[in-house]
Chains A and B, each alone.
Chain A
Amino acid sequence: MLLRRILTRLLTTLVTLLGVSVVVFVVIRVVPGNPIAMMLPPGATQADIDRLNALYGFDRSIAEQYVIWLGGVLQGDFGTSIQARQPVLRLVLNRLPATLELSIMALVIAVVLGGFLALTGTRLRGSRGEGAIDVTNGMALSVPDFLWGLVLILVFGVLWPVFHISGRVSPQYIQEFTTNFFLFESVLRLRLDLWLDLVSHMLMPALALAIPLAAIIGQLLKQSLKETMHLDYVTLARTKGYRENHVILREALPNAVLPTLTLIGVQFTFLIGGTVIIERLFSYEGLGNMAIDAVINRDLPLIQGIVILFAVLFTAINLIVDLLYAVLNPRLRHA
């Protein structure tokens, strides 16, 4: 049962990734304007252009280019960035940790905040407190991360400047790191100063990403908690003499969490998608920021690589959530 589920999901994931690669390949190959011409100095001859075109494979048909590119990808070769003239894979993997750290921090904030709202709302159901939580959730939910980012910049960057609103780390610390997982490394090396500097840079963009997700979690988890609270086993637990908090946490929460979990998976991919613009907004040196530069510079191999990496990341997250769901659901675990 579980094994078949895993296999089926792996198969559909592969089909999805293949689909993504085809779509992005086709889309960026109809770009007007020649990226090769842009990277050559003025006065380059047609022969130069042809030579470079051949080098990057742009002189072949799209189908041929795709097969060649796919063959390279299967061997771990994503091509060479036109702009930076470095292997795409290396460029992308260098930036990935920054985006991952930001996304995970945002996820943690969202889960903690959303979980707190949901539990409080359930505890206060029927009262004005619940109404207030609903209204807050509704507002937080309908405003996207981009706007929250701008609001946070205004409030905590300008009006009451307690956080950094630009960059990932203060310039003087950059030399201190040996890996690209700055946050992780600062914890491992117990460097509180580094950690604080990182957090003070990351907190605002992470919060901007987290607010809408926190609201969604708060709303959905509360909804399924309330539905669960009406079920007979919860009532039964009450008659046994348990306190309300205990009933919510032990009886309702484990069962209400499952539908929320599936949703968090999808929403987490949306959150990561949001890093593209949030990183731009906060000049945070991550994948998203690099992606926008790549589009503006028409760096085709790099765009391709970044999009594929995002797609792999998204499908992997969905896969993990799906398996987690199967593992946590006793119905599937013990069937």
Chain B
Amino acid sequence: MAMLEVKDLQVYYGMIHAIKGVSFHVNEGEIIALIGANGAGKTTILHTITGLLTPKGGQVMFEGKDITKTPAHKIVELGMAHVPEGRRVFAQLSVYQNLKMGAYTRSDKNEIEESLEMVYKRFPRLEERKNQMAGTLSGGEQQMLAMGRALMSKPRIILMDEPSMGLSPILVNEIFDIIQSVSASGTTVLLVEQNAKKALAIADRAYVLETGKISLDGNAKDLLNDDSIKKAYLGE
């Protein structure tokens, strides 16, 4: 059984039909990439999965349970984390407070402390800046914080919306390494990326989204070599 399954999703913004019947699934332990042009609806899908948006039609199943109508905060408790587009860090809280907020659903102090150590190890810059107000961090620093914050909930599946956006090349590589290591440590990953090449390189399978519909899907490595993908998303 798939860990996360989306069935015939229909999402509207007022009259705008943004998602027109999207279905896909994510198996436990996989890295799934969701790629597509600007405005294709990737962010909308993630928002719908984590309950920030309510779909007009279709279903979201998580570990066999229908979570279509489950409120966002309950979904987090089920073990799903979401690194939102545009980082959405708590600008007036310190880096440390932001990270603690990520562990909101957890109660064991020692385990939280452990996760904090783990995050600091992955992102040493965050430890250096732990008392700085998050709003004054540079763009890249904020991205790291958003990721670190999501990891603090010790999720079984993590949804990432363009985590490499605005990062320096070295960090982009690092982020993809981190995604792989997060995956290796047993967390399932649903990855939305503009950097299709890198995303496909680490993903198991991928879906291509075009104006609210899945236009293509398959093994990530195969898609990497697909001519139409190369032309449309890899700029080759």
A and B interact:
no
